[in-house]
Structure 1
Amino acid sequence: MQSKSFPMDQAQQFRELQMQLRDRWQTLETFDLSSADILVVPSLSLDQRELKKVEGFHHYEERLLFSLIRLRNPQTRLVYVTSQPLHPSIIDYYLQLLPGIPFSHARDRLLLFSTYDSSLKPLSQKILERPRLIERIRQSLRQQSYMICFNSTTLERDLALQLQVPLYALDPALLYWGTKSGSRQIFTECGIPLPAGSGLTWSVEELAIAATELWEQRPALRRMVIKLNEGFSGEGNAMLDLRPVQSDLTEATTQKERVSLMRGRFLHLGFQAKGETWENFSSRIPELGAIAEEFIEGQEKRSPSVQGRIAPTGEVEILSTHDQILGGPDGQIYLGCRFPAEESYRLRLQELGRRVGKNLAEKGAMERFGVDFLTVRRPGIESLEWDISAIEINLRKGGTTHPFMTLRLLTNGRYDLSSGLFYSQQGRSKYYIATDNLQKERYQGLLPNDLMDVIAHHQLHFDSGTETGTVFHLMGCLSEFGKLGVTSIGNSPQQAEEIYNKVVKVLDDETQHRANHPAWMSPPELPITWRGRE
């Protein structure tokens, strides 16, 4: 028994709380089918200065609303907390998706709480600052309950401890393994190919030396990527173009001269995030750390990913593979995804993802993980063979989580490891295109109710009979930012694309009068190619 004079360390208390999950559920299947109270705290507990680069980020708390589909289990209760109250029509939209469950029955098992706080602080921090809200949440939960979140930090740990509710998420003591340098270490331990790169640096001078040493190892390098160690969605990446100083680097006689040239090139970094500057970027290095990494060149290049989860028991499950849709100046900003990844490499991704998952499980990790890769078809290699390099590990619910879980919960289907395909209960293979970034200035001013009218009039909704259609999210972003999330589900890649294109056309047509008015003219759009091989 712990002495009252020397209370148990918080980290140890948290680990013991998480152990309750292992005691309650021995397999992933029993965990998924359990009748528990689920507390959803969709806090984006990320660096707020980096997060502000994402338009409408405070509405991203809506991305976990797919969790409401868990109310199809008639014994499940769900508690959802947000910074600001959710629009009633958004809640109604998700509850209407539930197959075979009366709307009123599901609504009675959903409890909504809000902090009524629109500040930039993470939601978990806002909750911790409101002890009476914590008490109301505690009283609403039954004994068998657990908490889920977008990403796990000490804030989520502290909230779980105050509520005495197990957190089904990563222990924040393990967050290092989701950083750029931590990811590289795990790839090395697992024997997974990765780009050449530097160790972690904590100053501009250290970074210049590390980048110089990387060039000295690979003098043919034309470009490098400079990455903040804790950046996300490509927002913390910058492109270092060495071609203008390639001859100068070669002719320099000392490393000191080469470091000076490299440091000078930092002033010309190509930033992925809008409005980013060297002054701001470099000021983050002493706080977050940074690495230099080889930029993998290639004419035919893809950016696939694999997703998995680690059960409370340590069991590793591969959930899905995706081809990511990237944009930005150098194609490093996450815009959306296609499911599944290309047939010629998806099974290989599964195998590499399982290696990473087992390594993470041995380190004590739990719940979601994703691994991003680059695949390049090299000249002279057979047409279906690709070189694969691992780029980073994400230890949180990412942009591919909610579309796949939406598909899984809507269809009650299964992911087939032998093919890398997903099959509904009717035996149909399912495909989708998903994005958080369907954004046009002309969409601004559309209210959630307006969107519901458009969905109903043009029959854009998901049809449970055909198991095709579109599921919308981030609807709170629409009026202010003209931004919307969609998951367009089809029975073939072509059908999924057709459904997605229909959504875009309908929204464009419905807002045509605004596009024709000078005040609503949109800037040129970043072209996104959704097509791929299947």
Structure 2
Amino acid sequence: HAQRRLTLLSCSDGSPRPLTDKILERPRLVERIRASMADPALAHMTCYNATTSERALALALDIPLYACDPDLLPLGSKSGSREIFREAGVPMPDGVEHVHDLSDVVEALVQLKRRTPDLQRAVVKLDEGFSGEGNAVFSFRDAPAGAGLARWLRRAVPTRLAFEAPGLDWPHYEPKLREMGGIVECFVEGAGKQSPSVQCRIDPRGDIELISTHDQVLGGQSGQVFLGSSFPAAPAYRFDIQAAALRVATVLRRRGVLGRFGVDFISVPRGHGWEHAALEINLRKGGTTHTFMTLQFLTDGAYDPETGLFLTPAGLPRFYYASDNLQREAYRRFTPEDLIDIVVDNGLHFDGATQQGVAFHMIGAVSEFGKLGMVCVADDPGRARALYAQAVAILDREAGA
């Protein structure tokens, strides 16, 4: 029955440009989209990320766009996020916003080092960086004290910044910084630190809804690149970050934000508790949106903010471990159909009776790039992780990896 409710239309244009722009260039296609709506009065448009193009398409279709107004997107930049955190009274790392060139970066680093003399590392972030790949870490190792610090930094920054994105260097990074702007902030150190996030929604009536919490799985040179997530966030701090996210959501609502967004944190064990610092706001759907919606649609359950758990209609909790960055060169020998056959043959597919098992996504990329995503649902967080490890081991075996 799902297929009967699905209408697929093609631009017949494989060029590497935004899909919305391709649609807008084709008035007859816009008209076909409009004609496919059974009742335009009940329709709305949703998308991963809303830009001026998506706003133009919604206006052309004469339906509401259920997303943040593109004019408000600067609130979700790295600089804008820090300004919102400050207004909401939510702790964040010490830092400087709106840096645009080497001189700004040097001045910001000097300020941070003077305020925190034992600071070991700082991070430079592009305002519009995505999944941590616009970040670069700077080490103060061997930095001189006193008046010579600024001169040393001017020489050291272009050569000592460690970029998260492979192959990036300062001559290519600085033009992006000039164009987008960015921030410099203290790199949060600490053994056992975690990277949780909270997903929220502001509906057209202005009501704020807590959708979910996650512990993010991060990789890259300094652990800042998003690889996947586990749901929900750890019970030791999920209610603390929910409360902080609600304060952020209240400020965003006053500014006119609508739709889904996420707030990322860094959490470090201190003494008998946890210390949290807000890092950024993503005014869009994120890497955890499709995994959480997969759980919703597979189980018909709902998230309970009072317990921080996802409950099935029978009241049973469900957990998952997910990745959208599982990649092996050997996986290119698989077709999407092969993936489904493999999990079914090994008894790992999602079972509607037990409401546990493996569900794939992004499988259209497997044959060309050897890349896929996976959501592993279980009745216990440990079993969800074990299910993921088991599925990866089976795929590796089948691929001869």
Confirm or deny that 1:220 pairs with 2:118. Answer: yes
Answer whether contact 2:124 2:138 (CA < 8 A) is retained: yes
SS in 2 for 1:454: helix
Tell me the alpha carbon deviations over residues 116-150 of structure 1, each in whole angstroms, 9 at most, x when there is no partner: 32322111112112222111111111322111000
- Residue 55 of structure 2 aligns with an amino acid whose one-letter code is R
Q: 2:395 aligns with which of 499, 507, 520?
A: 507
Between the aligned partners of 2:291 and 2:249, the Cα distance in structure 1 is 21
Tell me the TM-score normalised to structure 1 length.
0.73
Confirm or deny that 1:294 pairs with 2:190. Answer: no
Match of 1:365 in 2: 257
Percent of residue pairs identical: 47
Answer whether contact 1:207 1:290 (CA < 8 A) is retained: no
Match of 1:119 in 2: 15
Confirm or deny that 1:386 pairs with 2:284. Answer: no
Offset at residue 304 of structure 1 (A): 0.5
Match of 2:216 in 1: 324
Offset at residue 211 of structure 1 (A): 2.0
Match of 1:260 in 2: 151
Answer whether contact 2:301 2:313 (CA < 8 A) is retained: yes
Offset at residue 303 of structure 1 (A): 0.5
Confirm or deny that 1:207 pairs with 2:105. Answer: yes
Offset at residue 280 of structure 1 (A): 0.9
Match of 2:35 in 1: 139
Q: 1:197 aligns with which of 90, 95, 98?
A: 95
Confirm or deny that 1:397 pairs with 2:308. Answer: no
For structure 2, the 5+ residue unaligned runs are none
Tell me the TM-score normalised to structure 2 length.
0.97
Answer whether contact 1:338 1:433 (CA < 8 A) is retained: yes
Confirm or deny that 1:315 pairs with 2:207. Answer: yes
- Residue 244 of structure 1 aligns with an amino acid whose one-letter code is D
Match of 1:437 in 2: 325
For structure 1, the 5+ residue unaligned runs are 1-104, 516-534
Between the aligned partners of 2:347 and 2:7, the Cα distance in structure 1 is 30
Tell me the alpha carbon deviations over residues 256-291 of structure 1, each in whole angstroms, 9 at most, x when there is no partner: x43222122222211111111111111111110021
- Residue 115 of structure 1 aligns with an amino acid whose one-letter code is C
Match of 1:93 in 2: none
Answer whether contact 2:333 2:399 (CA < 8 A) is retained: no
Answer whether contact 1:303 1:325 (CA < 8 A) is retained: yes
| Equivalences for residues 150-299 of structure 1 within 5 A | 150-245=48-143, 248=144, 250=145, 252-253=146-147, 257-266=148-157, 267-299=159-191
Q: 1:377 aligns with which of 269, 291, 296?
A: 269
- Residue 7 of structure 2 aligns with an amino acid whose one-letter code is L
Between the aligned partners of 1:276 and 1:114, the Cα distance in structure 2 is 35
Tell me the alpha carbon deviations over residues 159-205 of structure 1, each in whole angstroms, 9 at most, x when there is no partner: 11111111100001100110001110111111111000002122222
Answer whether contact 1:337 1:434 (CA < 8 A) is retained: yes
SS in 2 for 1:244: coil
- Residue 389 of structure 1 aligns with an amino acid whose one-letter code is A
Answer whether contact 1:411 1:424 (CA < 8 A) is retained: yes
Answer whether contact 1:204 1:285 (CA < 8 A) is retained: no
Tell me the alpha carbon deviations over residues 299-340 of structure 1, each in whole angstroms, 9 at most, x when there is no partner: 121001111111110100001111111000000000010111
Between the aligned partners of 2:338 and 2:296, the Cα distance in structure 1 is 28
Match of 2:380 in 1: 492
Between the aligned partners of 1:139 and 1:304, the Cα distance in structure 2 is 43
The root-mean-square deviation of aligned C-alpha atoms, in Å, is: 1.2
